[in-house]
Amino acid sequence: MAHLIAPSILSADFGNLQRDIELINNSQADWFHVDIMDGVFVPNISFGFPVLKTIQKFAKKPIDVHLMIVDPDRYTEAFKDAGANILTLHLEASTHLHRSIQNIKKAGMKAGVALNPHSPVHLLEDIIADIDLICLMGVNPGFGGQKFIENTYAKVSTLKKLIIEKKSKALIEIDGGVDFENYKKLVSCGANILVAGNTVFGNANPTEAIDQLKKII
């Protein structure tokens, strides 16, 4: 399959949120990526249900919600109601991961698991056949605009091998530090979805930035 681009709403202009949502709707982007931060699991606070419901109101493409929060199980149904099509929680924040995945799917969403840069891929061995997406962090979670962690390439390759070995259908998503210098190598290593925040919305022409990220040749 061709790789997908998921612009991160965290980097959008919140004074012109509807405009930026429509920009994504009318671009080659595939998903909306929405980072939810609680100031506890990560040292930053982003936004909650009112903003997500605004995105839901105008979005014409799937909404990929990435939870960087403690005790994410409390909000599974609420995120479904607010428009999430894909719900990803962190391995490091989940006490009973298998149960959490079951609850996300029961609510009618695709289920993802995110790994912080320090978490090894092998921790997913017993769950990888049950999930739809693995989000590998290319930076430490919490803030946009950080320098990409080079070890991410090796993690993508290792994860790809594990997916094949376990006959999983999970897609590999990269979140953090994706730019024009590394996106082709990430795809060649096995990445299926690229989250791009500053690379898209920090560009003078976000639509052209998305177009470029879709090109591999």
C-alpha 31: how far from chain center: 9
Phi, psi dihedral angles at 99 (to 5 degrees): -60, -40
**Active-site residue set:** 35, 175
The span from the CA of 209 to the CA of 51, in Å, is: 24
Q: 207: buried, middle or exposed (CB in 10 Å: 19+, 13-18, 0-12)? A: middle
Q: 165: buried, middle or exposed (CB in 10 Å: 19+, 13-18, 0-12)? A: exposed
Report how far apart the first and last C-alpha atoms of the chain are (Å, whole number). 15
Phi, psi dihedral angles at 113 (to 5 degrees): -125, 130
| Region of residue 140 (left: phi > 0; alpha: psi -120 to 50; beta: else) | beta
Cross-strand pairs, 4: 193
